[in-house]
Structure 1
Amino acid sequence: MSATGIGASVRRKEDQRFLTGRGHYTDDINRPGQTHAYILRSPYAHAKIRKIDTSRAMAAPGVVAVFTGKDMAADSVGGLPCGWQIHSRDGEPMKEPGHPPLVVDRVRHVGDQVAVVIAESRSQAKDAAELIEVDYEPLSAIANPKKALEGGAPQVWDEAPGNLCYDWVLGDEAEIDAALKGAHHVTKIELVNNRLVPNAMEPRAAVGEYDPATGDYTLYTTSQNPHVIRLLMGAFVLQIPEHRLRVVAPDVGGGFGSKIYHYAEEAIVTWASAKVNRPIKWTAERSESFMTDAHGRDHVTTAHLAMDKDGKFLALKVETIANMGAYLSTFAPCVPTYLYATLLAGVYTTPKIFANVKAVFTHTVPVDAYRGAGRPEATYLLERIVSQAAREMGLDQAELRRRNFIKREQFPYQTPVALMYDSGDPGGCLDKALKLADYAGFEARRKEAASRGRYRGIGFSTYVEACGIAPSAVVGSLGARAGLYECGQVRVHPTGSVTVFTGTHSHGQGHETTFAQLVSDRLGIPIENVDVVHGDTAKIPFGMGTYGSRSLAVGGVAIDKALEKVITKAKKIAAHLLEAAEADIVFENGEFKVAGTDRKKAFGEISLAAYVPHNYPITELEPGLEETAFFDPLNFSYPGGAHLCEVEIDPDTGVTEVVNFVAVDDFGKVINPMIVEGQVHGGLAQGIGQALLENCVYDEQGQLLTGSYMDYTMPRADNLPNFTLDTHNVPAPDNPLGVKGCGEVGAIGSPPAVINAVIDALSPLGITDISMPATPAKVWQAIRSARPPLAAE
């Protein structure tokens, strides 16, 4: 291993600009003649719009234009498209109502876009927006997904009776019911996977610009996948030919899934820039982000796990209600179906599984993929019900899991819910985690905590994730409306330096370092000689962006395939220059050698010959050294692992302290251990945040009650322990690099580990359930209910 190659903990190249305040974000972009947009948003969750009067706003200082939904409709602007179609159990396609960038006659959630003001400054646009008079007719609203299915509930869409988007199934229900009926023991659990607000460091922003001289449009935006935005917005919303639309996503300060999607503001500023013939900039306020960025999770689930007398799992039945919000966001329909139900086998050999998912519309912000996207929901369900089953069966938590684990020698393993896991070793991960957590010494620590008046508990979570979503033919058959391959282009310059163009996008993952390490290792050149370009559709080949932990497992492999093409061509050039047979050329450590001799050429000499072809096999090869490759995986990659959480609870306050957290994960081949560790840290922070602190709450009329950091509690440093991390890696056989995703595992494995630890701590009181988030008030109330206060109290 070289100092900068694969396996080295190289410091991130991009941090130099980020840590010195020289990052270049969308809000840093200012175009000549630029104007500013402010969006007027609905204060109601559900209301008819009788009339909009913009005359006073138009007369306000600095106002350039005011547009409503009728203006966009007059230009035949389309609705925001959904990128995945699901069919119900009866074969009917899901209900897919329109999603106009600016609503025309009815608002369906607090924050829905009603009008846009374009002005010389942002403050002028905001002031003018307050002068717009909207005559609303308030209507009854529904925010609770379970109640949305009840008779008489307010209807979100006329075309979706009963608020049902789809009623989807996987598996044979009758077979599962028979297995449950004949089982020795059945564990039942009811869960809520709480709604979350993503809260990236950088709020969303967009700058639209139209060039009347060429008819070209440019959109600068905070996006995880600029090519997808160009495709969706250009083809389906604004009807702009792709060659006339450039989308640029510069540095992006965090995404976590919330910046995958095509949002209304992107279409609004792009369309309006041509109407006013000037660039238009929009940047979200944090309060706007709370009520417009796609939210995550929001499941209500009942599950039954059947076991024999020895605790072997026989069958699992899962019934889930998934909240879609008021509209279908870009990838929303696939999250509670193909990214959730297909992971319900987890790391276990459960032979029979049935899942029914009812997706419902409510008068809330649309819900879509958020760090983990379906896999955290599946893992939370499984690990909660397995832990409860262990308590009911009187078995040790680790022992019940071991009895049902897929063993390493059983891989590749075909699950009953469609997926075939390519590799893994759940038992090996758990064994290492138990040792690192000193599981054997836990009871002594529990007794010591009790002597201080504290409840101490330990929680388990053993998980598997499917990431690098693919292959295209498979996801296409399941309803995806896009290919999920990736592209990489390697341009070798005459002096031997390299520029890599990738269709993936970095928003905190360290691509500029990791991909450079990959190139440095393969070509034997200094990492400083490698530049990575992403985020600009005018520069990069068509790619699908970054989400689902796909960047390395899909995008990195595409780059590696392009590197292989470069090396193959370079060998031909070297053979000509060294007057040897191509079969005798060996490439290693940046040099082309004739096997068995001391004759050699450096990589830079070969690249120079490719561009200055004075002595060149011109009849065989074209000049230049630049190659492009596409990679469409044969399968997902399957990271997995074991997370153990230890907590202490103060019964007087209900405060839960995470005193120890151990995570042992399987990432396959690791390119940069330091970056991987950082990704795990971030995911664990988000997972612990969901388990103990974060909760997006609407009242009965659809008003957002947690619309700021005063109400929505984000995790802070003092909420987190020093993590103990390790890996137990099994290389992925289905991609040439052997890599697996790492960006989402922390958020997948940690929530059930934390909640299982809380329940374990409170189990002496007879408490068997605590819902997320386990806030101090909720935990304190559970303790008081289980242990009534003395009369003196």
Structure 2
Amino acid sequence: MGAESESESGSGVQSIDPDDVDAADILGSAIERREDPALLTGDAEYTDDIELPGMVHMTIKRSQHAHARIEGIDTSEAEAMDGVIEVFTAADLDVPGSLPTGWLLDSLEQVDHPILAEERVRYQGDALAVVVAEERYVAHDAVDRIDVDYDRLGAVVDPDEALDDDAPVVHDDAGDNVAFDWEIGDAEKTDAAFADADHVVDLDLENQLLIPNAMEPRAAVAEYNPSNDELAVHMTSQNPHLHRLLMSGVIDHPEHKLQVRAPDVGGGFGSKIHHYADEALVALAAKRHERPVKWTATRTETYLTDAQGRGHDTHAEMALSADGDILGFRVDTDANLGAYLSTFAPAVPTYLYGTLLSGQYDIPAIHCSVTGAFTNVPPVDAYRGAGRPEASFVVERMVHLAAKEVGMDPAEFRRRNFVGEFPYQTEVAVEYDSGDYEKTLDRALDILDYDALRERQREAREDGKYVGVGLSAYIEACGLAPSELAGQLGAQAGLWESGLVRFHPSGKVTAYCGTSGHGQGHDTTYAQIVANELGVDYDDVEVVEGDTDEIPQGMGTYGSRSAAVGGSALVKSSRKLVEKAKRIAAHQLEAAPEDVEFEGGDFQVAGAPDRSMHITEIATQAYLAHDMPDDMEPGLEATSFYDPDNFVFPFGLHAAVVEVDPATGEIEIERYVAVDDVGNQINPKIVEGQIHGGVAQGIGQALYEGAEYDDNGQLVTGSMQDYTVPKAEHVPEMETDSTCTPSPVNPLGVKGVGEAGTIAAPQAVVNAVCDALDVEHIDMPLKAEKVWRAANAATDGGEN
């Protein structure tokens, strides 16, 4: 584990049958994912697959306006329909019914977030009333029979405009629409750096709102047992324990009598972290009627209500020396928070954004200020990368301009300013654990044949063709930790992870982890980790996660934390278990524990290889308990709560080569090269898959995606007909490679890979297009008309 990729660049990592891998080599092998057969054959169980006896269906009446007073809600026609069991509104609720915020800032303006709107609606899609019916289609028809009398109000959707003095007020408690003011870095030191600069570049840029598009829409099925007051909610969740905690308060149900279970989940990308009104309403409906209740969002609902991502308007400035050193960096961002504060919304444009503004560079002075703005769009929260893509985009666009300003090749400008020694303390609070940034740059340049590519670019330009090369030296922060620090920053939860490893008397193993996978391949990678630690067969390890009744506690899956934090918890538990097993083995082999060695699953007395026992034999003996050390309890299992000492910081160099047709604005991505360093790789094939998926999403943002609203707050891009999700034809073949710089922070030396491609890709593509056209900037998405205008402005010598 930890060697560079053995496959040739671009050829792809080849999957291996687990039966063809020796147990000693299981960790670091590209074995096939064990999850895939069920997913590919239809045997997987998604939330909407769940059918329970006596189950009824729920739908939600949603606001058609982005901002309005509610003058009245008439439910009589819906209630009179055959098959309708109940229609209820906010007036019928007798529970707290307000969604909490899980991250607090000193300046945060906390506002009420009702699960059913009572006096005002604040975005198109805000929930107004609930229908419970015997059949799904009856429930949908009944929603259309609910009549709402609105008094429309002015709406605002842009964060800059929301902060204007004459903007419509979203919340009376926050009359200026300011959710928070926040800053990081040293303003005076940064001002001094700019005063001493030989060059200054500045840029206004937008990181547009994105709509999550998981394969599976959000869904929930709730069942209530009145005899013991136990409530079970099966739902599309990335963190069941957090959902259980928050939901218990919202619906006033005891946490220990509430089970939250995530069956197979078809993608999340951050949108299934947050606690939404919908799942709380399903749980309430099940309690009200003492029958199982199912709700599954339509795709239209997800476009209107899923927490959106990004939404930054930024002004950035970079101070430079005559020789091309970065002296200072100043960033001012207005962040769109939407109509309400979602679960972790305050953290995303602050601590997950501002702390990454040093990028891969040794920048001696940085200052960032962020103003969070309430607007009349859905709540804005974590979306794949959550703050880090926004930071990397600002840094890498500015570096692209800075290189041009001082007349340096963009690759050499980056090399000149890279951090060189680790650990590295940035000027924005975080300390990078390890890295070798030049190595990924050199590898990418070698794959590209960079010098020849630049020569081809010059020749193409002489022939009237516009070829561009865009580089992106990204960095990511994964596994936010330790919990003490997270608490100081405002988190209302610990960010540790739990892992339990249990031997059964037969020698088989079950590993329980508090994470909750939704496509990442945890069943495979966790089994590889545990099998390696215990020296047992990979096929003998079962992995369980995603169920609050099975796992005592857990913090879920997001922020590329699963391997670094969840995997490390399993390592810690496995090693505790081995230590207990060693004492049992020493006792039965009549040796001192310090004289017993463990390797590959075997305990043997040092110098006497014939005196040995396999760990599976020890497991049997531990449960028989016939011959145990004094004062040792029977059984063989161990639990750990792992709280890392620091984040981990994966990094890499991505490059895009494009050709732009100035006559049409069409962009062709000719090549895409990704060289990533994610520390030790548990399964290189899964790493490659995560990179591919992330890059596809990043290209989607660069070229195609963006939530658009009209002046009334109506979503214009409310379906896949209007909101372009990249298809196979839009995604180029990727040439991937890797380097390995293990992290010293966790026992696996891993860093995280789930969001790397999404963080790296947008600016690689934008830099390439701007390089091709020799223009300063084009805001994403780079649609054909926008590129055509920029190309013609540049040709005419005007402003782009």
Question: TM-score, normalized by length of structure 2?
Answer: 0.96
The match for 1:124 among 123, 138, 145 is: 138
CA distance in 1 between counterparts of 2:623 and 2:59 reads 51
Residue identity matched to 1:359: G
Match of 1:348, SS state, is coil
Q: Are 2:495 and 1:474 aligned?
A: no
- Residue of structure 1 equivalent to 2:277: 264
Question: Is the CA contact 1:167–1:356 (under 8 Å) kept in the aligned structure 2?
Answer: yes
- Residue of structure 2 equivalent to 1:133: 147
CA distance in 2 between counterparts of 1:785 and 1:337 reads 36
CA distance in 2 between counterparts of 1:463 and 1:126 reads 46
- Residue of structure 1 equivalent to 2:452: 441
Match of 1:466, SS state, is coil
CA distance in 2 between counterparts of 1:112 and 1:737 reads 44
- Residue of structure 2 equivalent to 1:609: 621
1:178-327 correspondence to structure 2 within 5 Å: 178-234=192-248, 236-327=249-340
- Residue of structure 1 equivalent to 2:352: 339
CA distance in 1 between counterparts of 2:331 and 2:117 reads 37
- Residue of structure 2 equivalent to 1:81: 100
1:390-469 correspondence to structure 2 within 5 Å: 390-407=403-420, 410-447=421-458, 449-450=460-461, 453-469=464-480
CA distance in 1 between counterparts of 2:577 and 2:463 reads 65
Residue identity matched to 1:772: M
Aligned residues: 775
- What per-residue deviation string (whole Å, max 9, x for no partner) do you get for residues 330-349 of structure 1? 00001010000011111111
- Residue of structure 2 equivalent to 1:143: 157
CA distance in 2 between counterparts of 1:184 and 1:447 reads 29
1:40-189 correspondence to structure 2 within 5 Å: 40-72=61-93, 75-87=94-106, 93-189=107-203
- What per-residue deviation string (whole Å, max 9, x for no partner) do you get for residues 232-256 of structure 1? 110x211211111000111100001
- What per-residue deviation string (whole Å, max 9, x for no partner) do you get for residues 419-467 of structure 1? 0111111111111111111111112332564477531100011111111
* Alpha-carbon distance, 1:525 to partner: 1.3
- Residue of structure 1 equivalent to 2:781: 773
Residue identity matched to 2:51: N
Residue identity matched to 1:777: E
Question: Is the CA contact 1:453–1:650 (under 8 Å) kept in the aligned structure 2?
Answer: no
Q: Are 2:553 and 1:535 aligned?
A: no
Question: Is the CA contact 2:470–2:763 (under 8 Å) kept in the aligned structure 1?
Answer: yes
Residue identity matched to 1:76: V
Match of 1:161, SS state, is coil
Q: Are 2:769 and 1:758 aligned?
A: yes
The CA RMSD over aligned residues, in Å, is: 1.2
Match of 2:558, SS state, is coil
| Higher mean displacement: 497-506 or 272-281 | 272-281
CA distance in 2 between counterparts of 1:488 and 1:119 reads 41
Q: Are 2:757 and 1:746 aligned?
A: yes
* Alpha-carbon distance, 1:667 to partner: 0.8
* Distance change (3 Å), C-alpha of 1:524 and 1:399: same
CA distance in 2 between counterparts of 1:566 and 1:193 reads 48
- Residue of structure 2 equivalent to 1:90: none
- What per-residue deviation string (whole Å, max 9, x for no partner) do you get for residues 65-123 of structure 1? 00101112xx1333111100112xxxxx3111111111111100000001010000110
Residue identity matched to 2:36: D
Question: Is the CA contact 1:449–1:648 (under 8 Å) kept in the aligned structure 2?
Answer: no
* Alpha-carbon distance, 1:621 to partner: 1.1
Q: Are 2:611 and 1:599 aligned?
A: yes
Structure 2 gaps of 5+ residues are 2-20
* Alpha-carbon distance, 1:162 to partner: 1.3
Residue identity matched to 2:621: A
* Distance change (3 Å), C-alpha of 1:599 and 1:9: same
Question: Is the CA contact 1:502–1:541 (under 8 Å) kept in the aligned structure 2?
Answer: no
* Alpha-carbon distance, 1:615 to partner: 2.4
Match of 1:297, SS state, is strand
- Residue of structure 1 equivalent to 2:792: 784
- What per-residue deviation string (whole Å, max 9, x for no partner) do you get for residues 734-769 of structure 1? 111111010000000111111000000101xxx221
1:654-693 correspondence to structure 2 within 5 Å: 654-693=665-704
Question: Is the CA contact 1:146–1:300 (under 8 Å) kept in the aligned structure 2?
Answer: yes
CA distance in 2 between counterparts of 1:635 and 1:590 reads 31
- Residue of structure 2 equivalent to 1:330: 343
* Alpha-carbon distance, 1:634 to partner: 0.4
- What per-residue deviation string (whole Å, max 9, x for no partner) do you get for residues 564-605 of structure 1? 011001111111111111111111112111111121112221
Match of 2:333, SS state, is strand
Residue identity matched to 1:113: A
- What per-residue deviation string (whole Å, max 9, x for no partner) do you get for residues 523-571 of structure 1? 1211110100011100012000000000010000000000001100111
CA distance in 1 between counterparts of 2:277 and 2:74 reads 22
Residue identity matched to 2:533: R
* Distance change (3 Å), C-alpha of 1:709 and 1:452: farther
The match for 1:625 among 599, 622, 636 is: 636
Identity %: 54
Residue identity matched to 1:254: G
Q: Are 2:48 and 1:27 aligned?
A: yes
Question: Is the CA contact 2:773–2:794 (under 8 Å) kept in the aligned structure 1?
Answer: no
Residue identity matched to 2:70: I
Match of 2:394, SS state, is helix
* Alpha-carbon distance, 1:620 to partner: 2.9
Q: Are 2:7 and 1:17 aligned?
A: no
* Alpha-carbon distance, 1:707 to partner: 0.5
* Alpha-carbon distance, 1:785 to partner: 3.0
Match of 1:488, SS state, is strand
CA distance in 1 between counterparts of 2:542 and 2:463 reads 56
Question: Is the CA contact 1:149–1:164 (under 8 Å) kept in the aligned structure 2?
Answer: yes
* Alpha-carbon distance, 1:719 to partner: 1.3
Structure 1 gaps of 5+ residues are 88-92
Residue identity matched to 1:478: L
CA distance in 1 between counterparts of 2:654 and 2:185 reads 29
- Residue of structure 1 equivalent to 2:572: 561
- Residue of structure 2 equivalent to 1:36: 57
The match for 1:724 among 726, 730, 735 is: 735
| Higher mean displacement: 602-611 or 361-370 | 602-611
* Alpha-carbon distance, 1:651 to partner: 2.3
Match of 2:237, SS state, is coil
- Residue of structure 1 equivalent to 2:12: none
* Alpha-carbon distance, 1:144 to partner: 1.1
CA distance in 2 between counterparts of 1:9 and 1:127 reads 50
Q: Are 2:731 and 1:735 aligned?
A: no
CA distance in 2 between counterparts of 1:20 and 1:706 reads 33
CA distance in 2 between counterparts of 1:94 and 1:268 reads 27
- Residue of structure 1 equivalent to 2:17: none
Residue identity matched to 1:238: I
Residue identity matched to 1:741: G
| Higher mean displacement: 220-229 or 444-453 | 444-453
CA distance in 1 between counterparts of 2:405 and 2:322 reads 12
